[in-house]
Amino acid sequence: MNNDESTVSNFIHDIIDADLASGKRTEVVTRFPPEPNGYLHIGHAKAICLDFGTAAKYGGRCHLRFDDTNPEAEDEEYVSAIKEDVKWLGFDWGEHLYWASDYFDTMYEYAVRLINKGKAYVCDLPQEEFKNYRGIPTEPGTEPPGRNRSIEENMALFEKMKNGEFADGACVLRAKIDMASPNLHMRDPALYRIKRATHHNTGDTWCIYPMYDFAHCIEDSIEGVTHSMCTLEFEVHRPLYDWILQTLEVFQPQQIEFSRLNLTYTVMSKRKLLELVKEKLVNGWNAPRMPTICGMRRRGFTAEAIRKLCGLVGCTKFESITEVELLESCVRDDLNENSLRAMAVVDPLKVVIENYPADLVEEFEVPNHPQKEEAGKRTIPFSRELWIEHDDYMDEAPNKFKGFTIGREVRLRGAYLATCTEVIKDATGNPIELRCTYDPDTKGGSAPDGRKVKSTIHWVSAKHAVDAEVRLYERLFTVENPLGDKEKDFKEFLNPESLEVITAKLEPALTKAQPGDRFQFERVGYFCADLDTTAEAPVFNRTFTLRSARM
RNA sequence: UGCCGAAUGGUGUAACGGUAGCACUAGCGACUCUGACUCGCUUAGUCUAGGUUCGAAUCCUAGUUCGGCAACCA
């Protein structure tokens, strides 16, 4: 199914190839480990494609595992959304759905094992005070009091932590590693904290919860993950990942870091996206302007296109920022191939064909896809009064211009050749109506005498047109990297023109569109019927314009 | 000033000591009943300085620049 990822080569696959060749590994097991504290975005899509794609390439398996170690931040709401998004992207975890919370018992046992080995201790220093002992990057830390408590004492203390005999935050379990380590993460990191919060899976069974560094490597180890891919910021955590597993003497997966996906003109941080949602700067997580999977889906992006992008951007350790144009290209590529054509006018200008009978209605058959015969044809009604795009008329048109100008013959797509004879303007000189004549001999759009017209424009019969709400989207931000200016809040760069709502004139067949149906409105762009659409009140989202420079 | 990591056209990536290639973008042109699609062409790159080698993007040395790390977040 998904060959997008499995065909590309990258440094991670080089590592796996070597591991398989040397016999270090005999199978490939990966995992996608989201924390259910927000919605998935296109950056996660890269990780999902990498995790599932790598497993598929090597005939292994990929687990979907929710990293639910912090009940304060997590919510069931996100779990179903994440599952839906992964599925929609085209990946299947089969029976391999896991939870960090599945392993809370084991993690507790492992913590006890560390204490027994003299490798962990209970630290009752207030958080703020421990900072002083940890030191700063350029100077070593110092050993905090209590670090050399006896094993028995630590066992008793940890037991009490578990049993709820201490207040939240009163103490933590720490790994006993090296307060002078040049790597801050090795200066006795916290393993367990006390937090009285109801967990969505385990309820109130626990009042202590494991920290990421302790939990994640154990989750990987228990599941037999061979290659644990994560983003670059975890690079400095790797020594700790390895230390915990080695000290525990359990199966040791290999953590491999790669750079996250960044796109121009948007932000990819869950926290920042949450800010936009909370401050109602966008209409929810699935707002079509959001880089979330659900937002992009609602806007009309296909899973195919997103997977294509994830394959094209590759996978390296270089912190890059990919031009959003590459995404646009992937989307257009897929939509051009797979979406049916329709005619719609987004900025209507009335056209009256003076020599066309007032009460006549003709029906024309037009293809649904220019390159695909099998897509079939549909009929569209034609009558004396039409809507065309406002910018398909110009007073003094340059030669390259494709629309009407007085005296120039233009093809009305699939119908007739027509010539504009007169333009009616309002007081400000803005055209409000065109008067035209048509050539009855050009029915269907071609002239029997073989004369050429250089332009074809789209139109909708005024009598039959259906009004629709159309939401036009542009880039969410006005600058390539909204987070790039440390002096300014990223929200200052929000693009006020990123959403424009207009009323468009649709050809009548479009009222049959169901939410999610995608079309190319010819010469205008790709559009997707919104969740809100109904036959009575159609609503369409513009996914992208066509690649073009209309005048 | 500590530790970890990364530098190849505008952007993203490939080349694993042997012709620096691909995609996107941009520009030009052809075709066209969509200014779409398709097709053709063009601009443009190995961070710097030394070294090893017949030969270096690739190996070595020294710099430079950029990113990450001091939650009881993940």
Q: The domain A270-338 belongs to what CATH superfamily?
A: Glutamyl-trna Synthetase; Domain 2 (1.10.1160.10)
Give residue numbers, 276 to 315 of A, with CB < 7 Å from strand B: 312-315
Q: Does the predicted interface ipTM exceed a cut of 0.90?
A: yes
The per-residue pLDDT for range A183-209, each reduced to its tens digit, is: 999 999 999 999 999 999 999 999 999
Q: Which nucleotide is nearest to A401 (CA to C1')?
A: B35
Tokens of A328: 């646009």
| pLDDT, position A549 | 57
**Cβ of residue A531 lies below 7 Å from strand B:** no
Q: Which residues 205-264 of A interface with strand B at a CB distance below 7 A? A: 209-213, 215-216, 232-237, 259
Cβ of residue A158 lies below 7 Å from strand B: no
Query: Active-site residue among A134, A260, A272, A435?
Result: A260
Q: What is the mean pLDDT of residues A343-357?
A: 98
In Å, what is the separation between the CA of A317 and the C1' of B50?
Answer: 28
| Whether the predicted pLDDT of A79 surpasses 60 | yes
CA distances from A56 to A23, A94, A305, A407 (A): 19, 13, 19, 62
For every residue of A328-376, DSSP letters joined together read HHHHHHHHHHHPEEE-EESSEEEEEETTS-TT--EEEEEES-TT-GGG-
At A548, is the pLDDT very low, low, confident or very high (cuts 50, 70, 90)? Answer: confident
Comparing every residue's Cα with the C1' atom of nucleotide B10, the nearest one is A323
Which nucleotides of strand B come closer than 7 angstroms to any CB of the protein? 1-8, 10-16, 23-26, 33-38, 66-74
Percent of chain A with pLDDT over 90: 95
A541 CA, B45 C1': Å apart: 39
Average pLDDT value over all residues in chain A? 95
Q: Is the pLDDT of residue A517 over 80?
A: yes
CA distance A26 to A29: 10
A172 contacts A122 by C-beta, under 8 angstroms: yes
Given this model, what pLDDT does residue A550 score?
56
Give the CA A460 to C1' B41 distance in Å: 38
Count the neighbouring beta carbons within 10 Å of the beta carbon of residue A549: 4
CA distances (Å), A521 to each of A77, A308, A346, A510, in order?
36, 23, 10, 10
The token pair at A76 is: 């069931």
pLDDT in the model for residue A450: 87
Res A398: pLDDT = 87
Phi, psi of A17 (to 5 degrees): -55, -45
Which class is A349-463 in CATH?
Answer: mainly beta
HSE of A449 in the Cβ direction (CA atoms, 13 Å)?
Answer: 7
- A444 CB less than 7 Å from any atom of strand B: yes
Residues A118-143: what's their mean pLDDT?
A: 96
pLDDT at A1: 33
A190 CB and strand B closer than 7 A: yes
Token digits of residue A442: 């050009």
Q: What percent of chain A has pLDDT over 70?
A: 98
Determine the nucleotide nearest to A189 by Cα–C1' distance: B72
Name the helix (H) or strand (E) containing A98: strand A97-99
Domain ranges of chain A: 4-258, 270-338, 349-463
- A103-113 pLDDT tens trace: 999 999 999 99
- Is the CB of A13 within 7 Å of strand B? no
Q: Which nucleotide is nearest to A452 (CA to C1')?
A: B33
Annotated active-site residue A270? The verdict is yes
**Tens digit of each residue's pLDDT (9 = 90 or more) over A254-273:** 999 999 999 999 999 999 99
Fold of the domain built from segment(s) A4-258? Rossmann fold (3.40.50)
pLDDT, residue A8, reads 56
